[in-house]
Amino acid sequence: MSRARIAIVASLVIAFVIVAGVLVYANQSHGGQKVTIDVTVTKAGSMTPSDLTAHRNDTVTINIKSDTTGEVHLHGYDIPFDCVAGQTVSHTFTADKTGDFEIEWEETSTHLGHLVVTP
């Protein structure tokens, strides 16, 4: 094999290894971060923001301020937020489950939003 061919093959192998490394790194979980989400719930049955996101193994703190007394419930993690009108209630947990988890006003089963936890 000529030196030119050896150089071409070596260059291709090095390029392949670099591209493979970048792809593997890009597809790894980016979890393990601290995530704080501030949410406002209104008596009208809405939550802002309504779409919450985190990565698996993030430490998530959700702060909910409601204009009504009652329970906001995060399903899947089974976390109740016992809201008192005008006050902020917080829960911190590890996002150890992946999926799309509903958040609702418990008394009326009104859908408020959801938490999506990605791998």
Q: Show the 3-state SS of the chain.
A: CCHHHHHHHHHHHHHHHHHHHHHHHHCCCCCCCEEEEEEEEECCCEEECCEEEEECCCEEEEEEEECCCEEEEECCCCEEEEECCCCEEEEEEECCCCEEEEEEECCCCEEEEEEEEEC
Span 93-113, mean pLDDT? 97
Same domain, residue pair 103 and 45? yes
Question: According to the model, what pLDDT value does residue 91 have?
Answer: 98
Domain membership of residue 5 as a residue range = 1-30
Span 69-81, mean pLDDT? 97
Span 53-72, mean pLDDT? 97
How many structural domains are present in the chain? 2
Same domain, residue pair 42 and 12? no
User: Which burial class, exposed, middle or buried, applies to 19 when counting CB atoms under 10 A from its CB (0-12, 13-18, 19+)?
Assistant: exposed
Q: How far apart are the first and last CA of the chain?
A: 46
* pLDDT cut 90: percent of the chain above it: 71
Find where tokens 């591209």 sit.
19
Question: According to the model, what pLDDT value does residue 57 have?
Answer: 97
CA dist., res. 94 & res. 13, Å (int): 41
Same domain, residue pair 99 and 78? yes
pLDDT tens-digit profile of 21-62?
Answer: 566 655 555 689 999 999 999 987 899 999 999 999 999 999
CB 119 within 8 A of CB 98: yes
Does residue 114 register a pLDDT over 80?
yes
Question: According to the model, what pLDDT value does residue 100 have?
Answer: 98
Same domain, residue pair 53 and 81? yes
Name the more confident of 16 and 56: 56
Rounded to two decimals, the pTM is 0.75
